[in-house]
Amino acid sequence: MAGKRTVLTAGLRRLAALLFEMREGVGLSKEEVSGKTGINVTTLYRIEAAQARPQRRTLMTLLELYGVEQERRKYALDLLSDAQKPGMSRPYEANLTEVYSAYINFESEALSARHYQTSYIPGLLQTPQYAGAVIDTSMPKVEAAVMESRVAARMNRATVLSKEEPLELWVVLDEAAIRRVVGGADIMRGQLEKLLLESKRKNVILQILPYDAGAHPGMAGAFTLLDFPEPNDPELVYVEGIAGDELIEGHLEIRRFGVIFDQLRAIALSPRDSVGLIERIAETMH
């Protein structure tokens, strides 16, 4: 069942990386570990790929085999405890894709997010009415209860902007997203007013990429870069697309998206000029 699946969290990814590092450190292959412990090779693969949470006894068996000292053993057990905690996506997972659920969990633990969007207002800045109008266009069509769950998940996500240590959000938004009337003029005007309000937060930077900027490197599609406070947590990129969403890791890939974002924010309007453009467009929504 969808509600029983293991959805990726920062804690689970941290534990998986640690176990891979430990196994590599003692020079054992997965097959050798399986032969010495009786743990299935497929299970070991899923644990090290953060696709499954190890049971406590499985973790203890691996730590014993790897000869892990007490302090590091405690760290691994603490990570397991952390990985067992439900992520922010838990109440909504039955109605969300696995990748999107994982993204919500990572976003809730991130230090900062750099977001580029081409077609619509980013989820963290949406009103419930706008979110419902966007989700209503999904294919295939979803039932009312599923739509309500997805809108609720989106609204709950936005709490990362107002928590004690809020997410630092930098958004570059294509002009098309603020001109396209989604859900009717009233809903769109409310959404633009919400954008103006959110842009006043100290932890939010909003820039509009105007039409007259011409061709640019972000035309291939939307993406989000997440940075984390833990130095052992590598950056992530979340990419949205019709073929499905994707979470990307890897230094070279991350660097490419970082360079693209830097180019986009350099050619976008300043935050002040962006607010002015949004205000002018909002005045036309009657």
**Tokens 């890897």 found at:** 250
**Residue pLDDT, tens place only, 18-69:** 999 999 999 999 999 999 999 999 999 999 988 888 999 999 999 999 999 9
DSSP 219: T
Average pLDDT over residues 195-201: 97
Span(s) in the chain for CATH 1.10.260.40? 2-83
The letter for the amino acid at 276 is G
Span(s) in the chain for CATH 3.30.870? 90-283
- CA separation for the pair 173, 62 (Å, rounded): 47
Structure tokens belonging to residue 210: 């105007």
Q: Is 16 exposed, middle or buried (0-12, 13-18, 19+ CB in 10 A)?
A: buried
**Residue pLDDT, tens place only, 131-172:** 999 998 876 788 889 999 999 999 999 999 999 999 999 999
Residues in the chain, overall count: 286
pLDDT in the model for residue 4: 53
- CA separation for the pair 212, 227 (Å, rounded): 31
* Superfamily grouping for domain 2-83: lambda repressor-like DNA-binding domains (1.10.260.40)
1.25.40, 3.30.870, 1.10.357, 1.10.287: which CATH number matches 90-283?
3.30.870
